[in-house]
Amino acid sequence: MHIGTRDTGPGQLTVAPTGEIDMASAARLDQTLDEVLRRAGVVEIVVDLTDVPYLDSTGVGSLLRGAAEAVGRGATLRVTNARPVVARVLRITAVDGLLGLTDGDGRSTVQPGWRRLS
């Protein structure tokens, strides 16, 4: 799996994995999300799943860990452009709302459902 990153606005970064996110590749996503979260000034991370044809429970866990870490640092992480099969995995595991994926076509339309507890 290849993962690209790009600045997409003030404080916003897009992480764009290409390929399957599964037990064999999830550690790479974890590492990339950790690196992105350590950058100064990051307030929003968008994970663009356009080129991800498959996501297993390990990949779901990576996204959730990244989202939780983002909230802990005062940022957000959301997913967008999920293919139908990937969006279905996020829906049936009930994490779609936590990751900001709420509409039927796999696009991110709202802020994620995470909040920081004081």
Whole-number Å distance between alpha carbons of 45 and 43:
7
Percent pLDDT > 90 in the chain is 79
- Domain span at residue 44? 2-92
pLDDT digits (tens, 9 = 90+) for 38-92: 998 999 999 999 999 999 999 999 999 999 999 999 999 999 999 999 999 999 9
Give the total number of structural domains in the chain.
1
HSE-CB for 94 with a 13 A CA cutoff: 0
| Rounded to 5°, angle at Cα 54 from 114 and 103 | 45
Q: What is the CATH number for 68?
A: 3.30.750.24
pTM score, whole prediction: 0.87
> What are the Cα distances from residue 100, in Å, to 1, 27, 83?
23, 22, 15
Decide if 98 is inside a domain.
Answer: no
Joined tokens for residue 87: 């969006």
Q: Which amino acid is at 85?
A: V
Q: What is the pLDDT of residue 106?
A: 45
21 falls in which pLDDT band (50, 70, 90)? very high
Examine residue 114 and state whether it is found in any structural domain, yes or no: no
In contact, 30 and 38? CB cutoff 8 Å: no
Q: Does residue 117 belong to any structural domain of this protein? A: no
Quick check: is 107 in a domain? no
Q: Which pLDDT score, from 0 to 100, does residue 107 have?
A: 54
For residue 29, being part of any structural domain is answered with yes
Round to whole Å and give the CA distance between 49 and 108: 11
Closest CA to 67 of 92, 88, 39, 46: 46
Does a structural domain hold residue 23? yes
